[in-house]
């Protein structure tokens, strides 16, 4: 199971640098701009100290963190929308991501020209927002054309369905025309269930990643506060990140990187901060399984029931679900071992409708 993240942003904003920082890859940022024919795709593991604790306590044969898959498409969304071939293909890939990271340049460097000629974070965020809206309008208009064509030969009941959808899309279009992203619209205009069928880019959570230079680190916190005053929402957030520094640190070992980070007054890695924020924006939580000598982390939407969580692991587990044996990570740590937890009566039996909590350690019991 993995979380999918799309990295977008204006030209030369540091997308590939951030991609390298998050994946530990070493894609070229110096001599090559990313070309759409050759997007970067990389996988990294979601860091979770709880998993390390479980590893030490339970000494499993295998330790399996959640994976994150990143795609850095490299081309502007405008180009992708206009280009029906490879652009269409890349756009399809972006349409399937769980969240978008918009890399926005704040770093100063005269040797790297900004496409707009100056550094202006808010202007660039607005420009990117427009590109996303442009892409969604293209999807929407294509769908409207299809509906018009289908309406021609449609019989009465079918006709009604098409007319309903058309009305829904026209209302949505009116909002997009006012530069409003889908993610910010009230539920009466944009019913979440209907919307999910279209894969609009502006419906996705948006993590604005402001790429700052090392020398801007002292102002990072206040810049974040200022930007979140404007952009924070249920599904949007701004964070600052030193892309170039984080990319270099990602190439070092864990400990050496930690020491450098401490010198810069950074307590978390860029990857940790980014993933944490992405989890919040996507409303994801983690639970752990320990069966078959394997400790594994899983990510699910907050509010998922035990039976649905079991289904994420295997459809048979959902079909034959009997119950879940559960202990919270904190209680397990307090007990010191699973057998001690069992002795102390800390392992709880939960039914199908139990709502999984972040940090639950679970064994599903099921019939095959």
Ligand X SMILES: Nc1nc2c(ncn2[C@@H]2O[C@H](COP(=O)(O)OP(=O)(O)OP(=O)(O)O)[C@@H](O)[C@H]2O)c(=O)[nH]1
Q: How far is the CB of 15 from Mg ion (least distance, A)?
A: 5
Site residues (CB under 6 A) for ligand X, limited to 236-295: 242-244
Token digits of residue 229:
């005053």
Choose the stretch contacting ligand X; rule: CB under 6 A; options: 7-15, 122-130, 184-192, 340-348. 7-15
Question: In this structure, what DSSP letter does residue 356 have?
Answer: P
Q: Which residue among 26, 41, 43, 112 contacts ligand X (CB under 6 A)? A: 112
Q: 244 touches which of ligand X, Mg ion, none (CB within 5 to 8 A by kind)?
A: ligand X
| d(C-alpha 319, C-alpha 308), whole Å | 10
Question: Do 151 and 159 contact (CB within 8 A), yes or no?
Answer: yes
Site residues (CB under 5 A) for Mg ion, limited to 28-67: 34
Q: Which residue among 5, 16, 305, 306 contacts ligand X (CB under 6 A)? A: 16
Q: Does 23 bind ligand X (CB under 6 A)?
A: no
Return the number of the residue (74 or 243) whose C-beta is nearest Mg ion.
74
Site residues (CB under 5 A) for Mg ion, limited to 11-30: 15-16
Site residues (CB under 6 A) for ligand X, limited to 202-221: 211, 213
348 beta partners: 326
Return the number of the residue (39 or 181) whose C-beta is nearest Mg ion.
39
What is the side-by-side strand order in the sheet with 294-301?
A: 62-64, 294-301, 284-289, 360-366, 321-328, 348-350
Token digits of residue 319:
């079909």
- Cα-based angle 189, 191, 197 (whole degrees, multiple of 5): 120
Site residues (CB under 6 A) for ligand X, limited to 25-44: 29-30, 33-34
| d(C-alpha 130, C-alpha 125), whole Å | 9
SS3 249: helix
Helix segments in 59-120, DSSP class H: 77-82, 86-95
Return the number of the residue (15 or 45) whose C-beta is nearest Mg ion.
15
Question: Interface with Mg ion by CB under 5 A: which residues?
Answer: 15-16, 34, 74
Question: Interface with ligand X by CB under 6 A: which residues?
Answer: 9, 11-17, 29-30, 33-34, 74, 107, 109, 112, 211, 213, 242-244
């Amino acid at each position: 199971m993995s979380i999918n993240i799309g990295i977008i942003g204006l030209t030369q904003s540091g997308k590939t640098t951030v991609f390298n920082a998050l994946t530990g890859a070493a894609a070229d940022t110096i001599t090559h701009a990313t070309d759409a024919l050759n997007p970067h795709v990389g996988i990294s593991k979601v860091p979770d100290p709880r998993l390390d604790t479980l590893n030490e306590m339970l000494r499993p044969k295998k330790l399996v963190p959640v994976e994150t898959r990143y795609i850095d498409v490299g081309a502007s969304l405008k180009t992708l929308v206009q280009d029906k071939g490879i652009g269409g293909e890349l756009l399809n890939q972006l349409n399937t991501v769980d969240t978008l990271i918009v890399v926005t340049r704040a770093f100063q460097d005269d040797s790297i020209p900004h496409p707009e000629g100056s550094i202006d974070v808010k202007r660039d965020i607005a420009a990117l927002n427009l590109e996303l809206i442009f892409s969604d309008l293209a999807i929407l208009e294509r769908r409207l054309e299809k509906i018009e064509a289908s309406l021609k030969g449609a019989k009465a009941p079918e006709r009604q369905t098409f007319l309903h959808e058309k009305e829904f899309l026209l209302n949505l279009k009116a909002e997009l025309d006012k530069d409003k992203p889908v993610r910010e619209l009230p539920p009466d205009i944009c019913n979440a269930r209907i919307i999910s069928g279209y894969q609009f880019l502006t419906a996705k959570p948006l993590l604005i990643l402001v790429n700052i230079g090392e020398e801007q680190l002292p102002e990072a916190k206040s810049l974040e506060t200022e930007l979140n005053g404007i952009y924070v929402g249920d599904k949007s957030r701004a964070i600052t990140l030193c892309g170039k520094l984080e990319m270099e640190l990602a190439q070092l070992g864990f400990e050496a990187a930690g020491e450098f980070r401490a010198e810069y007054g950074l307590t978390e890695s860029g990857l940790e901060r980014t993933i944490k924020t992405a989890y919040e924006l996507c409303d994801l939580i983690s639970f752990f399984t320990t069966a078959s000598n394997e400790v594994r982390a899983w990510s699910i939407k907050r509010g998922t029931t035990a039976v649905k969580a079991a289904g994420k692991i295997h459809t048979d587990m959902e079909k034959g679900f009997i119950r879940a044996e559960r202990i919270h990570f904190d209680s397990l740590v307090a007990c010191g071992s699973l057998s001690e937890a069992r002795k102390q009566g800390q392992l709880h039996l939960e039914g199908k409708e139990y709502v999984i909590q972040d940090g639950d350690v679970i064994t599903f019991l099921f019939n095959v």
